[in-house]
Amino acid sequence: MDFLFIQNPTKISCYKAVGTSNSNAQLLIFHKENFITFNFKDTLDFTLEEVQKQKLRKGFTTGTCATASAKAAILSIIKQQKVEGVDVTLPKGNSIKIKIENCKFTENSARCSVIKDAGDDPDVTHGAEIIVDVSLNENINQIEIDGGEGVGVVTKPGLGLEINKPAINPIPKQMINANLNEIAKDVLAKNGIRIVISVPKGKELALKTDNPRLGIIGGISILGTSGIVIPYSTASFAASIRQNLDVSLALGNDTVVLTTGGRSEEFSKTFVDLPEHCFVTMGDFSGYTIQQCAKKGIKKAYVVGFIGKLSKMAMGVKQTHVKGSKVDMSFLADLAKNSGANEELVEQIKKANTARHVQEIIQENQLNEFFIKVCSKVYDHMIEYSENKVVLEVVLFDFDGSILTRYPEK
């Protein structure tokens, strides 16, 4: 396939690639971190709006819903009027407009809600109403965030959340705090703000998720790392991987960083200095991605991620989506045993709740050889999938962005 490549277009006019052997050239467009392709034979003239129609529609997370509802509630108290929509600042500094479904307020309290829109992603929470109740109190300059009806309660370790507390992840809490501090400085100078998030259908929806298995009882989790839901489509995701690799090679770069998601990409930029197009989100398709690297002629690949995905990759799982494979605690226990763990520690790992829980146990016992073994297993499988055609380095991060292991060791 022959490629014409245009980066961040506003209007596109282009012609069939001249002097190519293939009469059906392909236009490859890179716009706002998305790759879009068009096949064409002759002149093609279209606008960016037409390009956007070719993409799967993104949605927004439950964390973004809660943030928007909280922001609308505070604004309604401040302005003493109904709020119909808000701009939510996302973790990367960009913003998104969110429609407010319902808004009621008094002088010192408000209730607002947002309908979760998962875009074209098959998310069980799509269409759920995320409600936030806001009330002012005497705890000056304090923002308290709690869970109400339909928000799960954490009962097991290994999730990075406090036990017996609501399952509201750190990034949504940070988003709520940041967005409220943008607009409510005068309010906070005289009052505290209490926020209660609830999801009326959360208890029923949670039964369709992994929450019961993970020990999150009574409702869904309030989630999100970027604030945006990226549509999960196997065909389109695989296409975006191929296209990302093609762009890197077309621009003269044969080294790439294969990340499991946005956070691992962000952390990897602290130790790898490469152009933006060299960072490839492989997501759950690790086996497919490294095979494509080998096929297309990538010379070196950094494989970066966290303990959950890398544990599955160490087992030889090529597709690591949570619905398609589980972390095998017996496998991790065997790795720990081979790393020098005693029988008591091995049994702890067998009974661990999540891969993150295993990481916490390993770190508490300072058994760093375990992380090396995980990465070496990932390395061995990825080398096999690539038929030893790609130079590899596997990097395991902790959840704060510190490197636990690089393999092979320098």
Using CA atoms, how far apart are residues 72 and 114, in angstroms rounded to an integer?
Answer: 10
Per-residue b or e along 97-111, where b marks 16 or more CB atoms closer than 10 Å to that residue's CB: ebebbebebeeebbb
**CATH 3.30.2110.10 domain extents, the chain:** 59-229
Using CA atoms, how far apart are residues 379 and 308, in angstroms rounded to an integer?
Answer: 16
Rg of the chain on CA atoms, in Å: 24
The pair phi, psi for residue 235, each rounded to 5°, is -65, -45
Angle at the Cα of 152 (from 146 to 153), degrees rounded to 5? 75
Residue 22 identity: N
Angle at the Cα of 349 (from 377 to 339), degrees rounded to 5? 45
Q: Which two tokens stand for residue 114?
A: 């947002």
Residue 399 identity: F
Taking the complete model, does pTM exceed 0.75, yes or no? no
pLDDT in tens, 261-293: 889 999 999 999 999 889 998 988 999 999 999
Strand-pair partners of 283: none
Cα–Cα nearest to 359, from 320, 322, 314: 314
- In whole angstroms, how far apart are CA 235 and each of 56, 231, 242, 288? 11, 11, 11, 12
SS3 state at 240 = helix
Q: What is the pLDDT of residue 25?
A: 41
Torsion sign, CA atoms 274, 277, 283, 289: negative
Q: What is the pLDDT of residue 399?
A: 94
Cα–Cα nearest to 193, from 201, 202, 203, 184: 184
- In whole angstroms, how far apart are CA 35 and each of 10, 258, 395? 15, 16, 26
Residue 179 identity: N
Beta carbons of 395 and 302 less than 8 angstroms apart: yes
Using CA atoms, how far apart are residues 174 and 234, in angstroms rounded to an integer?
Answer: 31
In which residue ranges of the chain is pLDDT below 50? 1-54, 322, 324
Q: Determine the CATH number of domain 59-229.
A: 3.30.2110.10
